[in-house]
Chains A and B, each alone.
Chain A
Amino acid sequence: MLQFFKNPNFNIVGKRKFAFILSIVIIVAGIISLFVQGLNFGVDFAGGAKMQIEFKKSISAEELRTLFTDKDLGNPEIKSSGTNEYMITINANDAENSDDLLKEALLGIDNTILQIDKVGPKMGAEMRNNSLQAVGIALLLILIYITVRFEFKFAIGAVVALLHDVLVTLAFFSFFQWEFSLPVLAAFLTIVGYSLNDTIVVYDRIRENIKIHKGKPLPEVINLSVNQSLSRTIITSLTTFFVVLILAIFGGQVLFGFSIAMVVGVIVGTYSSMFVAAPILIAWGHYFKSKDEKKK
């Protein structure tokens, strides 16, 4: 029988201080980065036009840029997206009939337009609002669900863990200025679901072990539970990690943002279910214990 861990007994809970510091450092750095350079919103949210164009002959980005000067196109972003293929993004303010202007500018050169994404500024603002609403509703529903299924303190732990995952992943998107688009938002919600999946498996164990090992101190029970579900956590995370990595490598331009968000999210989600979600119950427990003692 192949086993990664034979009767694992790592002191995971004991490392919680170190884990908390690591998480807080990344999140604080992320928040600073969010304030300083923000997110790189794609046309879905910022409005504007994005066109993927394939040219029959090789052409350089500089040559393209000269074609666009004096064409009311502002300062388009020109990025190579394959052999003789470019992704051209035009700012929302310059995008009134930007795609027509762009096509006009390219009339003399043999090209095929592979893709156009054009979103009016009003529509972009609307999508931002709708998305925030969707995220809010999803979080609320999940909180209700966990409160019903577990105790409230578990719900708080789970929500802290998933906020942690979202913030860390968001931090990565800000650090590396990866484009934040609609599929990326979908990935974020999936990360939320996935992170909870992991957390709940651990919590289920804790709930079960509290009944079995009555009288054992809470930190020990929690550490035991995390260890017992360790194999499962690692294996499931690995399979999910494999497939999203494959998607990031082979899925192409369109799915890259989605896949990279998932790659980061899977790693962070696994980490948080072990090092954040479970230990937070101990911190919570201490807080209430000291309160109870004061009452006495």
Chain B
Amino acid sequence: MSKKLIWRYLIVVVLLAWAVYSLVPTLQYERLTSAEKIELQDEGKLIDLESKIIKRGLDLQGGMHLVLEVNVPAFVKNIAQHQSRAYYDYMDNVNAKFEANPEMDYLDIMLETADEDSLRLSRYFPSEERKTDNKSVIANLLTETEHAVIRAEEIIRNRVDQFGVSEPVIQLVGKKRIIVELAGIDDPQRAKDIIHSTALLEFVLLKDAEYTQDIINRIDAAVKRINPEDISQIDTAVVSNTTSTDTEISVSELLGIDEKDAGTADSSVLVDKNLAAEKPFSALLRNLGWDIGVPVENYYAVNKILNDPEVKRVLPNDLRILFSGRTKDVDTNDGGKVKFYTLFFVNREAGMTGEAVKEAKAELGSVSSEQMGQAIVNVRMNSEGTKTWARLTGANVDKRMAIVLDNKVQMAPRIKNKIPNGRTVVEGFANLDEAQDIEIVLKAGALPAPIDIIEERTVGASLGADSINRGVKSMLIGLMLVAIFIIVYYRGAGTIAISTLILNIFFVLAILASLRATLTLPGIAGLVLTMGMAVDANVLIFERIREEFFKGKTIRSAVDNGYSKAFVTILDANLTTLITALVLWQYGSGPIRGFAVTLFWGIIFNFVSGYFISRTIFTSFTHGKKPLNKLSI
């Protein structure tokens, strides 16, 4: 046996040993039953084992991939100060432009428009810096949004940690985006809510009754201006489930919009027929003791009126109109039940925000308390918050205070007396789960800016398992077909080709395990494709050997010549695919990157097994002690 061959054997043995070593943990893990997994987890060995196996992509194990982006318009709106009529007009322009060109940068549009309108932005976005030209203000805003993203990432990380997901991926991408990947979660919707709810907790004073009535009158007048027709005259079928004075009309009719323009989304509403003529807005509302009720049927209409530009114009700047987060059932005279939202007229500025929260705990209200059996969140404030809370409650005894979460009113109790100990109870949750979610977001803190989900990919666990089955099945059938074809065509040499092909797959899986790379469904497709292409190296070589053999060369020199002549071709041909794989690796997202990874390693190991190992096996036959006298090719 030649010395060269010994070296070759050695390299092959080392490679095989490495591959086996890398793949053993994965095989071990696959054979574990769930009971055994729990046992290992208790011993603390599971994490260690999991860190050595081939990582499955979200598309194979089920999970959720989110790309989040800070909503710049909302962020700017939140931090603007001293907002005036001129500012609102300016913002209307900016928003209209942004809607027309959503691909443009919002801050750029702001700058451009401010210069056009010759508006001094420093008035609304004051900063400590001396420079007050619009350009510096916008630059400052950009820095602030970038900081907001960084803070948002931290907060989301805290929330996810408390939610309890194994190995979550949360990372900043660029300056505006955050990627969140959660594997194997049972309730994607709940996780999504926890991640992207702003969780802005506010304590806001309600406007008094007189003021509120005045505002309602103004809205009534505004709606009448929009649609001067007497809407009570509109003749529609009376389908009413509350009181006999209620009638059903459509929102479009109410606002005098042509039915065609309004789209199909308008739903019919319940109006109080006696009121409708004089007070079209009030007619949509109901008196519920201390509260203003909005029957659920009217929610859409009321919302539409409140967002009408004509109506917005008559509303004072220091007012916010908010809905309750939940509906409540109210018994009607005829024994039925009607669902109501509650409408609140509150101060624009919050007396206090969730920043003051030190601790939050979700629980069921104790037997003796008012909230018996209800899901509540007990909130304790920090020392700063305790002081503010005491001052705020002390100064406003007998007034009502709304506790607002993400612009929805959870509750609006009347302040009975000063609260000196910095504690409060938040109620108004559907169940304990919801209260617990609120506990998580309150503890982790509010997001500095609203966050939009700009990309979401969720794969259910069952589909993931199905994908694995399909992938494995395709691989086995593909391998079988290729094997039959190649072995029939090339006989003995074909068997060598197929063994090196199997080794190729084996090596790719081993490198995935050692590099902790992720295997995705397109990744499996890449493996299957590799099988088809990996035989190519052997086919090139075998065809060359046959040619040399026909020329009358000895077996030994035919084999040697075949291998060396084919090498350049194999190199050239594979490098182009390698380039493609690298570009995909660089530019692809998630699953596509998985494809690029297996394609890349498939090609690399094609040289190793398809050329090097195959040649080693071949030469050990031709250069051995008993050289072949017949070539099975």
- B460 close to A115 (CB less than 8 A): yes
In the complex, chain B residues 519-575 whose Cβ is within 8 Å of any chain A Cβ:
521-522, 525, 528-529, 531-533, 535-536, 539-540, 543, 546-547, 568-569, 572-575
User: Is B467 in the interface zone, CB < 8 Å from A?
Assistant: yes
In the complex, chain A residues 58-116 whose Cβ is within 8 Å of any chain B Cβ:
69-70, 72, 99, 103, 112-116
Give the chain A neighbours of B543 by CB distance below 8 A: 229, 231-232
Shortest CB-to-CB span from A43 to chain B, Å, is: 10
User: Is A42 in the interface zone, CB < 8 Å from B?
Assistant: no
Q: Which of A10-18, A21-29, A211-219, A235-243 contacts B (4 or more CB under 8 A)?
A: A235-243
Tell me whether A250 and B577 are in contact in the complex, defined as CB-CB below 8 angstroms, given that A236-B535, A242-B482, A243-B482 are known contacts. Answer: no
Task: Report Cα–Cα, A1/B545, bound state, in Å.
Answer: 13
Shortest CB-to-CB span from A116 to chain B, Å, is: 4
- Taken residue by residue from 105 to 127, chain B's Cβ proximity to chain A (1 for < 8 Å, 0 otherwise) reads as 00000000000000000000000
- B452 close to A120 (CB less than 8 A): yes
User: Is A38 in the interface zone, CB < 8 Å from B?
Assistant: no
User: Is A141 in the interface zone, CB < 8 Å from B?
Assistant: yes
Give the chain A neighbours of B404 by CB distance below 8 A: none
Task: Report Cα–Cα, A235/B589, bound state, in Å.
Answer: 33
Q: Which of A126-134, A163-171, A279-287 contacts B (4 or more CB under 8 A)?
A: A126-134
- A255 close to B573 (CB less than 8 A): no
Task: Report Cα–Cα, A285/B584, bound state, in Å.
Answer: 35
Main secondary structure of the interface of A (DSSP, over half): helix
User: Is B150 in the interface zone, CB < 8 Å from A?
Assistant: no
- Taken residue by residue from 220 to 255, chain A's Cβ proximity to chain B (1 for < 8 Å, 0 otherwise) reads as 000000001101100110111111101100111011
- The residue in chain A whose Cβ has the minimal distance to the Cβ of B547 is A228
- A240 close to B533 (CB less than 8 A): yes
- B474 close to A247 (CB less than 8 A): yes
In the complex, chain A residues 112-145 whose Cβ is within 8 Å of any chain B Cβ:
112-123, 125, 127, 130-131, 133-134, 137-138, 141-142, 145
User: Is A192 in the interface zone, CB < 8 Å from B?
Assistant: yes
Report how many A-B pairs have Cβ atoms within 8 Å: 211
Shortest CB-to-CB span from B120 to chain A, Å, is: 30
Tell me whether A242 and B478 are in contact in the complex, defined as CB-CB below 8 angstroms, given that A193-B576, A196-B576 are known contacts. Answer: yes
- B584 close to A244 (CB less than 8 A): no
Tell me whether A258 and B522 are in contact in the complex, defined as CB-CB below 8 angstroms, given that A99-B456, A131-B587 are known contacts. Answer: yes
Shortest CB-to-CB span from B297 to chain A, Å, is: 14
Shortest CB-to-CB span from B406 to chain A, Å, is: 15
- The residue in chain A whose Cβ has the minimal distance to the Cβ of B102 is A122
- A118 close to B466 (CB less than 8 A): no
In the complex, chain A residues 190-205 whose Cβ is within 8 Å of any chain B Cβ:
190, 192-194, 196-198, 200-201, 204
Shortest CB-to-CB span from A73 to chain B, Å, is: 10
- B579 close to A255 (CB less than 8 A): no
- From A194, A232, A247, A254, B540 is in contact (CB under 8 Å) with A232
- The residue in chain A whose Cβ has the minimal distance to the Cβ of B550 is A7
Give the chain B neighbours of A238 by CB distance below 8 A: 485
- B463 close to A149 (CB less than 8 A): no
- From A112, A115, A193, A197, B536 is in contact (CB under 8 Å) with A197
- B577 close to A123 (CB less than 8 A): no
- A115 close to B264 (CB less than 8 A): no
- A133 close to B587 (CB less than 8 A): yes
Shortest CB-to-CB span from A31 to chain B, Å, is: 24
- A193 close to B467 (CB less than 8 A): no
Q: Which of B24-32, B36-44, B333-341, B591-599 contacts A (4 or more CB under 8 A)?
A: B591-599
User: Is A267 in the interface zone, CB < 8 Å from B?
Assistant: no
User: Is A262 in the interface zone, CB < 8 Å from B?
Assistant: yes
Interface centre among A72, A103, A137, A186 (most CB of B within 10 A): A186
- B264 close to A254 (CB less than 8 A): no
Task: Report Cα–Cα, A1/B264, bound state, in Å.
Answer: 73
Shortest CB-to-CB span from B174 to chain A, Å, is: 11
Give the chain B neighbours of A145 by CB distance below 8 A: 575-576, 579
Give the chain B neighbours of A134 by CB distance below 8 A: 583-584, 586-588
- Taken residue by residue from 478 to 503, chain B's Cβ proximity to chain A (1 for < 8 Å, 0 otherwise) reads as 10011001101111000000000000
Give the chain B neighbours of A142 by CB distance below 8 A: 576, 579-580
Task: Report Cα–Cα, A69/B576, bound state, in Å.
Answer: 51
Task: Report Cα–Cα, A189/B587, bound state, in Å.
Answer: 12
User: Is A209 in the interface zone, CB < 8 Å from B?
Assistant: no
Interface centre among B102, B532, B543 (most CB of A within 10 A): B532
What are 6 A-B contacts with C-beta separation under 8 Å? A120-B454, A125-B103, A239-B531, A243-B528, A246-B528, A255-B521
Interface residues of A (CB under 8 A from B): 1-2, 52, 69-70, 72, 99, 103, 112-123, 125, 127, 130-131, 133-134, 137-138, 141-142, 145-146, 149, 182-183, 185-186, 189-190, 192-194, 196-198, 200-201, 204, 228-229, 231-232, 235-236, 238-244, 246-247, 250-252, 254-255, 258-259, 262
